Structure 1
C-alpha cells in the first residue's frame, strides 16, 4: 500500500470518527469531571461537606474515598476550560502509554510500520464506548488502568511492585481486586506493598481530613443509592443483570462464586499479562456497580486476543466484532425499559461480551493445565 493511500485512509477515518463523535447522543459533557471539580471546590474553598455536595442540583455527588479528593484538589483552583483540557490531555497520554506497551511491540514483531496503524488504533479508542465515555465524562479509569498495568509489567523484577495497585485502590476501591491477584500468584511482597501503599494513603488522608474519612468509611461507602440505581442499564455487571431480572440477591452471589472460581483456577496458572487481563474482567463482573465507562478494564484482554489472532482471520474477526458491539451503544436501546426477559439479551450485551472475553482469554491456560495433568497420569 502506498504512502498516499495510507494517508488517505487515516484522514478518511479521522473525519468519519469526528462526525460520529459530534453527532452521537451519548456525549457526556464531562459530567464526572464536573462532579470532581465541584466537590473539591465546595470542600476546599467554601468549607462544604465533601459527601453532601450534589452537582448542579442533581442527585450525584462525590463517591470515591477521600484520598481521591486530595488527588483531585488542584481542580478546585482550575477554570472549567482548563480542567476539561487537562482531562483530555491526561486521558490521551494514558492511551499513548497503552499503545506503546501493547500495540507497538505487536507491530514491530511483524515488521509493520507504526505511523499509519497507531492513528487508527487511537481512533478505535475514541469509538470504543468505555474509553469514549471515559474521555467525555472526564473519568479517571484509564489512569487507574495504567497505574495497575505499570505495576504488573515488571512484577518479577521490581522490588517496589505493588505500589501502583495500592495507589489505584486508595483512589477507587475496584482495583483492590488486583491485591487478590497478587496473593493467588504468591507475589506476597508485592501484595504487602500494595496493602501498605493503600493503607498509608488512607491513614495520611485520615490525618488531613478526619471528618471526611469518617463519613466515607462509616456512612457514604455503605449508601449504595448515592452511586446510582443498580438496575440502570449502564450497570453492566452481574449484579446489574440480576437487578434488571428482578431476581434474588442469592443468584448474584452464586454467579460471583462461579466467576471467582474460574478466575482463581486460570489466573494462578497463567502468565502475568493473561492474569492482568483476567483480573480486570473479573473486577467488572463481580462489582455491584460497573458503569459502561468502567469497562476500560477489558482493554488488556482485547489487546491480548487481537495480538494472538493476527494470523487467524476468523478469530480476529470475532474479537473485532466484540469491539464493534461495544462501540455501538447497543445497551442504551433499553435505557428506559431494562426489566424482564425480553430485554435480557440486549440490555446486558456488554456483560455477555465480558464473559465471552474472559472465557477466550482463560481457555488456553485451562487447556494447557488439562494437557499437563493428562500427561502426568500417563
Structure 2
C-alpha cells in the first residue's frame, strides 16, 4: 500500500499529500510551511492554497497526536470564575495530570463567535482534545459550524468533547459528557410541588440556551405529572446565570404582584440573588418564599438558610471527558457518535433549609 493511500485511509492529510497535489517536492512544502527559507511568491501561494483545501494541520504538535509528544487538552470555558465550570476544569486537570498530559484553559466570555474561533485555533495547534464546558446556544448556524469543526478536529487526529451540553445533531465525531439536566429540574420542581407550592417563579435562564431549555422542560413535566396547570407568566428568561438575574427577576415578580410562594432558580448563584431581593422586600426565606437552586456548588451550603438544590457531578464529568479521549487514543482509531460517545451522569436533589410549605402568598 502506498503512503498516499495510507494517509487517505487515515482521514488526515500528510505533507506528502500536499506536495503531490501542489506538484512540488516534500522539501518545497516544508520550506513554505517553516518560513525559514526564501521561496517564491508563486510557490508559497500554490502550496498554501492546497494546505487550505486539504485542511492540512502543520505542526510539531502532530508528533504528539501520533504518540511522540505530550498530549494537550484545551478547556474552553465561558467564565473562569464560575464555580460549576471551575469544578469541571478541576476534574479535567486531575485526570489529565494522572496521565502526564498538559491542560490549557481559554475563556469564551459568553461569546459564541469567540468560542468557535478558539475551537478552530486549537485545531490548528494540534491539541489532543478540545473540551467545551457548559450549555450551548441552540442556533442552527452555531450547530452547523461546530459540527464542521468537530469533523475537522477528527481529521486532524484530535477530538471535540462537549461537557454539560447535548451532543451535536447527526453523525458527528464528537464525544458528549452530559448530566441528566431535565430530570434534575423535574425532581426539584416536584419537591416544591409536593411541599404544597403552586405559584412558582421559574428562572431557567436564556430561552435559546440548551441548559435553560432542559431545566424548563423538566419543570413543565413535573407540573404535568402533579396535575398542576403551568403558568407561562411565572417564567422569567431575561438573564444569564448571575446573582443580578435572580435579584431583578424577583423584584419584577413582586412588582407585578405575581403572588409566588417559591422561586426555582436556574443555578445556585441565581438563587443567591433571589434571596437578596426577597429579604430587601421585607420577606423571609423560607417563611414567606421558598427558594431552590441548581448545581450544588459550595455556595449552596454557605447561604443562610442553606440552599436546597440539585447536585451535579461536575468534577466527575471532567474526569470522564479525559477518560473518553484517552480510550479513543488507546484504541488507535476514530469513532463516531453512534458508537456510544454520549455519556449521561445522574443528578439528585440535596434537601437543606430553604424550603417549607407555603404559609401565605408573598
TM-score by length of structure 1 reads 0.25
Between Structure 1 and Structure 2, whose CA radius of gyration is higher? 2
Q: TM-score, normalised by structure 2?
A: 0.26
More helix by proportion, 1 or 2?
A: 1
